[in-house]
Amino acid sequence: MTNGLASLPTHNASEAGKKLIGIEHLLQWAYRQELPKVGGGSRSGGIGIAGGWDAVSRFGELGTLVDVSANGFGCVPDLWSDGEAEPHADALAVAASVDRLADMRCEWEEGYDVLSDVEGITDAERAESNRLGFDIARAKGDQLAALVMRVAMIGRAPTWEGHGPVERRVELGPKGQPAWYRLVERSEGEGRAPVMVEMDGFDARRRRPFEGAFQKHYLDPHPAMLAGERLDYQAWVAALAFLSSDLDGCLVAHRVAPSLRRPWPWEDEGVVTFRPRILPVQSPLAGV
């Protein structure tokens, strides 16, 4: 599967007199064409996107770079439009539905594994990488709505593809040579138990490691980065399902076709394995 957005092409649904459109295309249309018509200010209760989306540099009429703040929908205003036009009513409904994603949360469950296809790592490393991936993922807290908006604006789905084979590499010292470590007992004073401390394990005088010295290894690329990307992808797919359901029958000119994206595209469809799910709290996303 490619990173490009895949959704149904639009066509007239004669029985309802409305245009059938895939949820991903609907979001793109709303956030790239309609909502940027609002030139500035903010709306009560709207969600803005922090960071790179709240100010961008664009060329003005004089050819100079100007900073343009995002409008109340988190979109860069269309400075080249003729006046300030009103967004389509369906785009406003889409924005309201995306706003409701802010009340949803993704929670971590021990044993959740989005790295089943990653080879060459231990069970402990797999579990740690999944936990670290959840910390890295951007769709936590109230950021799921921001993720959906960002993807719609960019026009490219979150990535889930692997980063290549994971290699186990030796940690290097300051001079670029393999680092050695050793544990040495250190006295804490009279009447106190000694403690073990980690020290340099290479004997520079003899130019060899001390007896009992050991090396440390790290994974490259670290699977936690891939886990974070896949968790964001799954949260986005779940959000699309919610938005499709939430907007069903609520639009004046469109009928929404749900996304056909799978939440586990890196796994063989014929393989059925037990795995706990990320469960959004108090939302219809559970079970996606």
d(CA 6, CA 17): 24
Does 264 fall in a domain? Answer: no
| Residues 36 and 147 occupy one common structural domain | yes
The pLDDT-based confidence of 104 (bands split at 50, 70, 90) is confident
Q: Between these two residues, 206 and 70, which has the higher pLDDT value?
A: 206
Residue 11: per-residue pLDDT: 45
pTM: 0.73
Q: How confident is the model at residue 93 (pLDDT cuts 50, 70, 90)?
A: very high
In this structure, the answer to whether residues 104 and 61 fall within a common structural domain is: yes
194 assigned to some structural domain: yes
Q: Give how far the C-alpha of residue 230 lies from the chain's centroid of Cα atoms, to the nearest Å.
A: 7
* CB count in 10 Å sphere of residue 169: 12
User: Are residues 69 and 188 located together in one domain of the fold?
Assistant: no
Q: Look at strands 254-257 and 18-22 and give their pairing.
A: parallel
More confident of the two residues 84 and 43:
84
Both 59 and 181 in a single domain? no
The stretch 89-118 carries a mean pLDDT of 90
Residue found by looking up tokens 């994974």 in the block: 219
At 152 the three-state DSSP class reads helix
Residues 116 and 239 in one domain: yes
pLDDT tens-digit series, residues 255-282: 999 999 999 999 975 444 445 444 443 4
Q: Which residues contact 200 (CB under 8 A, 6 or more apart)?
A: 180, 181, 182
Distance CA 286, CA 121 (A): 30
Count CB neighbours of 253 within 10 A.
11
Q: List pLDDT tens digits, range 163-204.
A: 999 999 999 998 889 999 999 988 878 888 889 899 998 999
pLDDT band at 39 (very low <50, low <70, confident <90, very high): confident
Note the pLDDT of residue 169: 94
Q: How far is CA 194 from CA 62, 188, 199, 211, in A?
A: 72, 5, 15, 20
**Given 3-state DSSP classes, what are the helix, strand and coil percentages for the chain, each rounded to the nearest 5?**
30, 20, 55
56 and 148 both lie in a single domain: yes
Could you give the number of structural domains in the chain?
2
DSSP 33-86: IIGGGS-SS--TT-----GGGSEEEEE-TTS-EEEEE--TTS----TTSSS-PP
Residues 58 and 192 in one domain: no
- Does pLDDT of 102 surpass 60? yes
Residue 46 Cα distances to 7, 71, 73, 119, 284, angstroms: 27, 10, 6, 43, 21
In a domain, 136, yes or no: no
Closest-CA residue to 282 (of 121, 18, 152, 104): 104
Is residue 279 in a domain?
no
Q: Are 40 and 81 in contact (CB under 8 A)?
A: no
CB 273 within 8 A of CB 111: no
Question: Which pLDDT belongs to residue 79?
Answer: 64
92 lies in which domain range? 11-120+142-159+235-257
